[in-house]
A and B are shown apart, each in its own frame.
Chain A
Amino acid sequence: MTIGFERRDVRATIWILTALSLLIVYLPPLYLVGISFNPSLQPGMPSLGDISLKWYGALVNERGLLAALKESLLIATVTMVVSTLLAIFAALAYLELGRLKNGWFLFVVFPMFVPGIIQGLALSVILNRWQVVPFWGTVVMGHILWSLPFAFTVILTSMATVKRSYVLAAADLGANWWQRTTQIVLPLITPGLVGGAIFSFLLSLNEFARSSYLVGRQNTLPLLMFGKMNSGATPTIYALSGVILLVSILAVAAVMYLIARRRRALAERSVEKA
């Protein structure tokens, strides 16, 4: 009985489909990076001789773009820290809750299903009523509502590796709640914490709908870029996209390298004396 994966034609089909999907996913952003090296004002792939860093140089003078980037990074960082912390507590609560588990899960995850334009509008109406002047903090509020469900789900998934008996055993050996949490639970869910944090950061950095209602005087990057595209794109936007893409790829590569190194160290430690 075979499933067919060893057949030549089946394998070829799978490879072609894989290559096709990768192209669809990665070609557009790569094209964007490509045109960012074209010195002409008209977007298009540069010929090899024309490659230039002109627009990257021009980036430094784009005060508005840089200010928006700074604002977005600030908002994303605060969102990441707060969402991850809240998600940890929400997941710990889930671990302790008995019959209320499912209700709690739905309660935390629900904002994921509220359309951004409605959530943003609702929040801005209430903040307006309380006479809160919009600033980066109001955007953070909207972004936490958006990213918390995702961070919570990611952390909850890694909680599955924490057997209830680990916590009981720690208690049996004298550990109180705080020691059980910091010495047993958190170290075991570290991969989930990292994943949840990255997720929150990226969701916030990308967010448009909620930001558009809650933003103060300083635009976030997605809002600014959208505005610029509407009023005729300048190629500096392509350059900025190139930088962000490159930094994202490097960041993911760094995280994967660190995880691989840690895994290798663990494996070596266990083989050492065996």
Chain B
Amino acid sequence: MAISISLDNVARAFGTVKAVDGIDLQICAGEFFTLLGSSGSGKSTLLKILGGFEKPSSGSVKFDGADVTGVPANRRPCNTVFQDLALFPHMTVAENVGYGLRVRGGNRNDRVKRVNDALSLVDLKGYGERTIAALSGGQRQRVALARALVMEPGILLLDEPLTGLDERLRQQMRDEFGRLHRKTGATFILVTHNQDEALTLSDRLAVMHNGRFEQVGTPDDVLNRPANEFVARFVGLESIVTPEAVRLEDKTCHATISGKHFSFAAPGMTAAPRKLAIRPDRVTLSEDGGIPVTVARHHFRGRHHELVLVTGDGTTITAEVPSDRSPQSLGIGMVATAELQDGALIPVMT
């Protein structure tokens, strides 16, 4: 059964450093919730507090309304997939997966059956007798997942589980998490520094920085309505401009950037934003008609060219131009104009 989580003013300090600085959060039962942040943001400490490996300096943690702040890890109804997986090297795959059931006790045949079920769940049927050393990185990942899932936890904690996998495996396992979440129905909490993982998997996510939440919301909220500049940059919106003039009129936002006028629909917006982020994939180059710019830097990124453009007043705009355009025409120092297509402007509230 999925379990809901409620954090009330949770803080954890190491000496004078506040790793987690007064967090309030409600997570619904069965939700896929992601803590997104760079290293040192406090996201791992918060996960450890949820798992019971770390005691908060103050505040309380509740599972389904019951206070578990003082309950140690081995008596919490949640299981963890650790960053380094922490598979026991002296046990076979089946012994690893069955360890939690062995500790819990109970019928041996039933335990064997459940271990086999868990192994099939992660596509490792028949791998039970192998040693951990004989597995590939992706298989180990699955064993760690099976070891946690076999306990049928109400909450599954995932501590940067995809770090260190190659890109293809990463995407495979990412989809696997989504599938297992739908299949088990448990509350999943993922900690990651990778925005793609966070945006594709989560029902909701929290962007964490210096022990605090910068924004909590759905992927759509975070991507299209970033709460502040930090969040915007974190989800890949590097070009943030301060328009010369902004006003809100009839649910439409009008802005002037480098002398050009732009407008976009802004339903639900109550005040004009101070700053605007520009989505790089919505910027196109043309001979004239847009904002006059000079190409300052040029990087080839495989599927697209990334261009850093500088406007007359020194503002930089990043543009992604499809790589079918010949590179010769994108030389540094080239003068062009940047046109902003529909959806290019994203309001940044503070």
Interface residues of A (CB under 8 A from B): 161, 163, 165-166, 168-176, 179, 183-184, 187-188, 266, 269-274
Residues in A with CB closer than 8 Å to B89 are 161, 188
Residues of A within 8 A of B131 (CB): 266, 269-270
A–B Cβ pairs within 8 angstroms, 5 of them: A163-B84, A165-B82, A168-B82, A174-B151, A274-B134
Establish whether residues B88 and A184, one from each chain, have CB atoms under 8 Å apart when the complex forms: yes
Known: A168-B82, A173-B151. 13 other contacts (CB 8 A): A163-B84, A165-B82, A165-B86, A168-B86, A170-B99, A172-B148, A174-B104, A179-B103, A183-B103, A270-B130, A270-B134, A273-B127, A274-B134
Tell me the number of A-to-B contacts counted with CB atoms below 8 Å.
78
Q: How far is the CB of A188 from chain B (nearest CB, A)?
A: 6
Contacts of B80 in A (CB 8 A): 168-169, 172
* Nearest opposing residue in chain B for A169, CB measure: B86
B126 at the A interface (CB under 8 A) = yes
- Tell me, in angstroms, the Cα distance from A271 to B126 when the chains sit together: 14
Contacts of A168 in B (CB 8 A): 53, 73, 80, 82, 86
Q: Knowing A188-B89, A266-B131 touch, does A175 contact B74 (C-beta < 8 A)?
A: yes
Query: Does B273 sit at the interface, judged by CB under 8 A?
Result: no
Is A172 a contact of B103 with CB atoms below 8 Å? no
Q: B313 interface residue, CB < 8 Å from A?
A: no
**A175 and B103 in contact (CB under 8 A), knowing A168-B53, A168-B73, A273-B129?**
yes
**Which residues of B are found within 8 Å of A188, using beta-carbon distances?**
89-90
Residues of A contacting B: mostly: helix
Residue in chain B with minimal CB distance to A187: B90
- Cα A25 to Cα B84 in complex, Å, equals 45
Chain A residues with Cβ below 8 Å from B137 are: none
Q: What 0/1 pattern do residues 75 to 117 of B give for CB contact below 8 A with A? A: 1000110111011111010000001100110000000000000
Q: Which residues of A contact B73 (CB under 8 A)?
A: 168, 171-172
- A188-B89, A274-B130 as given contacts; A174 in contact with B53, CB under 8 Å: no
* Contact status A171-B53, CB under 8 Å: yes
Decide if B51 is an interface residue (CB 8 Å cutoff). yes
Give the docked Cα–Cα distance between A183 and B74 (Å). Answer: 15
Knowing A173-B100, A173-B103, A176-B74, say if A269 contacts B82 (CB, 8 Å): no
A222 CB, nearest partner CB in chain B, Å: 39
Closest to B82 in A: A165
Instruction: Compute how far the CA of A163 lies from the CA of B84 in the bound complex, rounded to whole angstroms.
Output: 10
Chain A residues lying within 8 Å of B99, measured Cβ to Cβ, are: 170, 173, 175, 183
Contact of B72 with A by CB under 8 A:
yes
B1 within 8 A of A: no
CB distance from B78 to the nearest CB of A (A): 8
Q: Which of B88, B130, B147, B151 has the most CB of A within 10 A?
A: B88
Q: Report the Cα distance A175→B147, complex, angstroms.
A: 14
**In the complex the two chains form, what is the Cα distance from A168 to B84 in whole Å?**
12
Chain B hits for A274, CB < 8 A: 130, 134
Q: Does B133 contact A (CB under 8 A)?
A: yes
Contact with A along B16-59 (1 / 0, CB 8 A): 00000000000000000000000000000000000111000000
Contact of A174 among B83, B103, B134 (CB under 8 A): B103
Task: Among B52, B75, B126, B129, point to the contact of A269 (Cβ < 8 A).
Answer: B129
Please give me the 10 A-B residue pairs with the lowest Cβ-Cβ distance, nearest first. Answer: A173-B100, A165-B86, A270-B134, A169-B86, A270-B131, A171-B73, A174-B103, A171-B74, A172-B80, A175-B103
Report the minimal beta-carbon distance from A159 to chain B, rounded to whole angstroms: 14
Chain A residues near B147 (CB, 8 Å)?
169, 173
**Residues in chain A near residue B148, CB distance under 8 A:** 172
Q: How far is the CA of A163 from the CA of B148 in the complex (A)?
A: 18
* Least CB distance, B39 to chain A, in whole angstroms: 17
- Distance of A168 Cα from B74 Cα, bound (Å): 9
A163 to B92: give the CA distance in the assembly, Å: 18
B47 to chain A, nearest CB (A): 12
Closest to B48 in A: A168
Bound CA–CA A272/B126 (angstroms): 12
B105, closest chain A residue (CB): A174
Nearest-neighbor residue (CB-CB) of A269 within chain B: B131
- The reply to whether B74 and A172 form a contact with Cβ atoms under 8 Å apart is yes
* Nearest-neighbor residue (CB-CB) of B90 within chain A: A187
* A266-B129 Cα distance, complex, nearest whole Å: 11
A179 to B88, CA, bound (A): 14
Query: Inside 8 A of B72's CB, which chain A residues have their CB?
Result: 171
Q: Tell me the B130-157 residues at the A interface (CB within 8 Å).
A: 130-131, 133-134, 147-148, 151
Residues of B within 8 A of A270 (CB): 130-131, 133-134
B79 to chain A minimum Cβ distance, whole angstroms, is: 6
A273 with B126, Cβ < 8 A, contacts A173-B100, A266-B131 known: yes
Which residues of A are found within 8 Å of B129, using beta-carbon distances? 269, 272-273
Contact at A174–B86, with CB atoms within 8 Å?
A: no
Q: Measured between alpha carbons, how far is A187 from B92 in the docked complex, in Å?
A: 13
B131 to chain A, nearest CB (A): 4
Q: Which of A187, A266, A270 has the most CB of B within 10 A?
A: A270
A272 vs B151: C-alpha distance when bound (angstroms): 28
Assembly CA distance A92 to B80 (angstroms): 24
Minimum CB distance partner of B98 in chain A: A173
Cα separation A168 to B88 with both chains bound (whole Å): 11
Point out the residues of chain A lying under 8 angstroms from B52, CB to CB.
Answer: 171
Cβ 8 A contact of B82, one of A169, A174, A176, A266: A169
| Closest chain A residue, CB of each to CB of B147 | A173
CB contacts (< 8 Å) of A179 on chain B: these are: 103
* A173–B79 touching, CB < 8 Å: yes
State the CA gap A174–B80 with chains docked (Å).
Answer: 11
